[in-house]
Amino acid sequence: EVKLLESGGGLVQPGGSMRLSCAASGFTFTDFYMYWIRQPAGKAPEWLGFIRNKANGYTTEYNPSVKGRFTISRDNTQNMLYLQMNTLRAEDTATYYCATGITIAAMAYWGQGTLVTVSS
Partner 1 sequence: DVVMTQTPVSLSVSLGGQVSISCRSSQSLVHNNGNTYLSWYLQKPGQSPQLLIYKVSNRFSGISDRFSGSGSGTDFTLKISRVEPDDLGVYYCGQGTQLTFGSGTKLEIK
By CB under 8 A, name the binding residues for partner 1: 44-47, 50, 63, 97, 101-108, 110-113
Exposure class string for 25-59: b at 16+ Cβ within 10 A, else e: eeeebeebbbbbbbeeeeeeeebbbbbebeeeebe
| Shortest separation between residue 20's beta carbon and partner 1, angstroms | 15
Q: Closer CB to partner 1, residue 16 or residue 69?
A: 69
Q: Closer CB to partner 1, residue 114 or residue 118?
A: 114
82 vs 7: CA distance, rounded Å: 10
| Shortest separation between residue 110's beta carbon and partner 1, angstroms | 4
